[in-house]
Chains A and B, each alone.
Chain A
Amino acid sequence: MTQKVIQIPRINDGRADFATLFSIWSQTNDYFEDVRFDFSTCWFLRPNAVAFLGGLARLIESRLGKVEFDWNTLHDQRVMANVCQNGFAGNFGYPTSAWSGNSIPYREDKTRDVGGIMDYLEQYWLGRGWVQVSQRLRDAIVGHMWEIYNNAFEHSGSEIGVFTCGQHFPHNETLLLTVVDFGQGIPAKIRGFFRQHADEELVAKLTGASCLRWAFQAGNTTKVGEPGGSGLDLLKEFVRLNQGKLEIYSNDGYAIVDKDGERFENRELTFEGTVVHITLRCDENLYRFRDEAE
């Protein structure tokens, strides 16, 4: 079997960085191909990249390819320390154990492990003493985060599961969480749903941005026989009230919700799956519950 070498560059969490990740995904789309990830040019790697690359490795393995993260090529000590600390390197062949710090552990959930995911959010994401928020707000946050996982498990159809990584940034008191699946993607699911009701010719014209806009509207759901359509709606409202940021990359669509509202865009580079990238502020004073927002 041939081995493809893919360079992992510096990856932050801007749109161009996600384009880089989707380009890496597109380079791995051949079945029965082994992949070696080379970090020679990597001197910065955000948790969104960690979650994405971990999931991508499992995707390649599910196609019977072998994946090697070539840790010998990773020369940047801060990046190395970070991927050791969050457990990512240990998951992929580097002889180390994770330890506590500012990073939030890399996590893989092949199936919906409710207790495990909720404990992770409470204990590792919010509960490390760095987020000074009340218990009531803590409960509200993890409940809203569960909507992301529920959507991923309910809708994506991903056979390899869901991949998560996060980080706490003490200098600006923010928390990041990225949840990735390599399922069908939200626009693809919506187009598939509409095909049952409308002409293929028309459905094919629906853009990724339009599909995401529809998904974000309260009460819209592709579920049949059961009500839904509240999860994203509740999540986006919470993020806006709390001056956070929610970004979703799915197929050819991109959605962003922040204090300025919600916007939807089409992206040239598509990928099969969904990335939810969320930024929350840790300052209790910024948070407002709905009944306090008036």
Chain B
Amino acid sequence: MKLSIKDQIGPRCIIKEDGQKIYDAVHGALQNGETVTLDFEGVSQFASPFFNFAIGQLLKDIAEADLRRLLQIEHLNETGRLVVERVIENAAKYHGDKDYRKIVDDILEQQAKESD
């Protein structure tokens, strides 16, 4: 399966609604173990909300190693690559369990140190 992102979305990939369209188009195929290619030829502007939804969401039920093997990305410029890598990194953290009580404790501990 190969998708032209410019045809589907246009030259700006910046909003979550457009990311959701791509997610909906590829999620099933990736879950079935099929290879998917996203072609970014002609796309020049990128922001994280698009990739959070298009790709970050995929990590909910697809392991990062599987995603990297099955999802091929072509013609993505350097800015886009930077954004997508950061989103994958952060999505992996997001989908892990977080102990927010401990996070609050840690923040308060740092505050206390700074006020000493």
Contacts and interface: CB of A to CB of B under 8 A. Distances in A.
Interface of B is mostly: helix
Contact of B45 (A118, A219, A289, A290): A118
Contact of A118 (B14, B51, B100, B111): B14
Contacts of B77: 136, 139
Interface stretch (B33-41, B62-70, B91-99): B91-99
B108 A228 contact: no
B17 to A, nearest CB: 9
Interface in A242-269: none
Contacts, number: 118
B91 A227 contact: yes
B78 interface: yes
Q: From B16, B56, B57, B79, name the one whose CB has the most chain A CB atoms within 10 angstroms.
A: B79
Q: From B47, B51, B53, B103, name the one whose CB has the most chain A CB atoms within 10 angstroms.
A: B47
A234 B14 CA distance: 13
B86 A218 contact: yes
Interface residues of B, number: 38
Nearest to B82: A290
Given A146-B14, A210-B110, A198 B104 contact: yes
Interface of B: 12, 14-16, 44-49, 51-53, 56-57, 59, 77-79, 82-83, 86-87, 89-91, 93-95, 100-101, 103-105, 107-108, 110-111
Given A118-B12, A143-B45, A234-B82, 9 more contacts: A114-B12, A135-B44, A143-B14, A207-B111, A218-B89, A221-B90, A228-B49, A229-B94, A291-B78
